[in-house]
Amino acid sequence: MEKTAMSQVNQKVVVGLGKTGLSCARFLLQQGESVAVTDSRKEPPGLAELCTEHPGVKVCVGGFDTALLKSANELIVSPGISLQEPAIKSAVQSGVPAIGDIELFSRYISRENSHIIAITGSNGKSTVTTLVGEMLRDAGHSVTVAGNIGLPVMDVLLSGDQAEFYVLELSSFQLETTFNLAPVVATILNISPDHLDRYDDIDGYIEAKQRIYDGCEIAVVNNNDANTMPSVSGDARLVTFGGASDDATYRIQTVSGEQTIVRGDSALMPLHEMALADGHNVLNALAGLSIAHQVGVPDVSMVETLRTFSGLAHRCEFIRALHGVSWINDSKGTNVGATISAISGVSQAYPGGLILIAGGDGKGASFDDLAAVVKQHVNCVVLIGADAPLIELALGKSCNLYHAISMEDAVTQSYCLASGTGAVLLSPACASFDMFSGYEDRGRQFVESINLLTDKLSETGELLNV
């Protein structure tokens, strides 16, 4: 469907609307570029705004317009759209270059007084991106946190505000179409299988992540994960972090009988002084320290930020205790690696027994690696979503399994199974779009279901039965 037409030749074609595509179109139009837009959806998010603001822009929806794509001198492809889409692939093969919003950002951002920090990884990237932003801000720097974390980078440029530091969370999808970002500091926090519905195998996923190191000055790598090491030798200086790894620059070490965060030979702070001191957040803190120190944040300021940083919503977020049961929202746990990390951390913090709510759209991943950690730490699993049967098959007899038809049902069953002790952890190991509008909606429904359960218990004064 073609909404409007233009007589002039379209130079830039934005492929896919939504927040990212709309921000790219707006920016390019502000720059005086000739722009067209195409989307496979009939009514994509952002369509009404674009047509209202720029009624003369050619918009082809309800399918990608192959002729339009081939007529462009450049495609700006939104990260949710694969370059393997036939119409896009055909245009690229005919010589039309394809970039994404991060590459577009790299062309227009002033490097004279601004520095880019780029962060990716399978898990923890939103937390570390936010933490580094807080460390810089607490040290008195102007900073903008953007990218995959929610604020499109082109909206940053549209605002006209310039920061000293841009801390960017980048997905593998964004990195596929990024070529010249050249950040001051870049990191891959960790690698575990994810998005295998987009990539042929884990190697393709890793290859996309590795692009973050192209042209960087300092590469911050996880000493416990070889896949985070730059695969191509370059001029970047390496800085390492890694838990109890003795040869990591930033690590955990016993000092005067206390578990302590250290850098080289210097003790920075006792672990217990961190606001978030569970297993995976310790690694997040080490990564944050590694990055912030490279751009000049003083130790005393970084440590003070760690004392107060309480983490993000939907990331192992404590919701409340109800009749002896603690409820933890890790709806952002959208892959197996994230859920394994959450189980390990939460089971240590709440040793009274653990009920796991898991399931959704597995994105083509294998759930086999869940079985061992579930057998060791989890009493029962309540399964939801489209790939619940695949998770059940992978877990086998590692624990007792139950099925729920909704989040409210899952919360009610979990409460009864917990028997007044331990914790209930929502960490789905899956994407959410089979049942919810996103991981935020899934987490919100989890919290709402807990509140509804609380109200029912208050009214009846009785425990519920499964």
pLDDT of residue 161: 86
Flag whether pLDDT at 466 surpasses 90: no
- Average pLDDT over every residue of 427-454: 96
pLDDT of residue 278: 66
> Exactly one of 12, 58, 115, 125 is catalytic; which is it?
125
- Average pLDDT over every residue of 458-465: 62
Residue 445 gets which letter from DSSP?
Answer: H
Q: What is the rounded distance in angstroms from the CA atom of residue 21 to the CA atom of residue 25?
A: 6
Look up 148 and say whether it is catalytic. yes
Q: Which tokens is 447 given?
A: 């919290």
Q: In CATH terms, are 12-99 and 317-460 the same topology?
A: no
Q: pLDDT band for 8, please (50, 70, 90 cuts).
A: very low
Backbone φ and ψ for 182, nearest 5 degrees, come out as 45, 65
Q: Which CATH class is domain 103-308?
A: alpha beta
pLDDT of residue 190: 94
pLDDT of residue 7: 38
pLDDT of residue 72: 97
Flag whether pLDDT at 465 surpasses 50: no
Q: pLDDT band for 256, please (50, 70, 90 cuts).
A: very high
Which region holds residue 321: left if phi is over 0, alpha if psi is between -120 and 50, else beta? beta
Contact status, residue 134 vs residue 200, Cβ threshold 8 Å: no
Which pTM does this prediction carry?
0.85
- Please give the share of the chain, as a percent, with pLDDT higher than 90: 81
- Average pLDDT over every residue of 233-259: 88
pLDDT of residue 345: 85
pLDDT of residue 6: 41
Q: pLDDT band for 451, please (50, 70, 90 cuts).
A: very high
> What are the strands, taking DSSP E only, across 199-310?
218-222, 237-241, 250-255, 258-263, 266-270
Q: What's the CATH code, domain 12-99?
A: 3.40.50.720
pLDDT of residue 462: 56
| CA distances in angstroms from 330 to 13, 63, 65, 91, 270, listed in the order given | 37, 35, 39, 40, 26
Residue pLDDT, tens place only, 161-211: 899 999 999 999 999 999 999 999 999 999 988 888 889 899 999 999 999
Domain map of the chain by residue range? 12-99, 103-308, 317-460
Q: What is the rounded distance in angstroms from the CA atom of residue 417 to the CA atom of residue 409?
A: 12
Residue pLDDT, tens place only, 350-398: 888 999 999 999 999 999 999 999 999 999 999 999 999 999 999 998 9
Across all residues in the chain, what is the average pLDDT?
A: 92
Residue pLDDT, tens place only, 36-91: 999 999 999 999 999 999 999 999 999 998 999 999 999 999 999 999 999 999 99
Report the largest interatomic distance among the alpha carbons of the chain, rounded to a whole angstrom.
75
Look up 403 and say whether it is catalytic. no
- Segment among 47-56, 255-264, 275-284, 359-368 with least mean pLDDT: 275-284
> Exactly one of 148, 223, 227, 329 is catalytic; which is it?
148
Q: If you write DSSP's letter for every residue of 38-102 in order, what string do you get? A: EESSSS-TTHHHHHHH-TTSEEEESS--HHHHHH-SEEEE-TTS-TTSHHHHHHHHTT--EE-HH
- Please give the share of the chain, as a percent, with pLDDT higher than 70: 95
Tell me the three-class secondary structure of 277-288, residue by residue.
Answer: CCHHHHHHHHHH
Instruction: Identify residue 431 by its one-letter amino acid code.
Output: A
Look up 314 and say whether it is catalytic. no
Q: What is the rounded distance in angstroms from the CA atom of residue 346 to the CA atom of residue 341?
A: 9
Contact status, residue 37 vs residue 60, Cβ threshold 8 Å: yes
Q: pLDDT band for 3, please (50, 70, 90 cuts).
A: very low
Q: pLDDT band for 255, please (50, 70, 90 cuts).
A: very high
> Exactly one of 58, 115, 195, 377 is catalytic; which is it?
195
Q: Is the dihedral of CA 38, 39, 41, 46 positive or negative?
A: negative
Q: What is the rounded distance in angstroms from the CA atom of residue 429 to the CA atom of residue 410?
A: 15
- Length of the chain equals 466
Residue scoring higher pLDDT (337 or 98)? 98
Q: pLDDT band for 348, please (50, 70, 90 cuts).
A: confident
Instruction: Identify residue 264 by its one-letter amino acid code.
Output: G
Flag whether pLDDT at 272 surpasses 60: yes
| CA distances in angstroms from 452 to 404, 406, 434, 435, 448, listed in the order given | 17, 14, 23, 19, 6
Q: Which tokens is 389 given?
A: 């049967």
Flag whether pLDDT at 18 surpasses 90: yes
SS3 content of the chain, % helix, strand, coil (to 5): 40, 20, 40
pLDDT of residue 463: 52
Residue pLDDT, tens place only, 19-30: 999 999 999 999
Regarding the domain delimited by 317-460, which CATH topology (the fold level of the hierarchy) does it fall under?
Answer: Protein-Tyrosine Phosphatase; Chain A (3.90.190)
Q: Which tokens is 134 given?
A: 């807080």
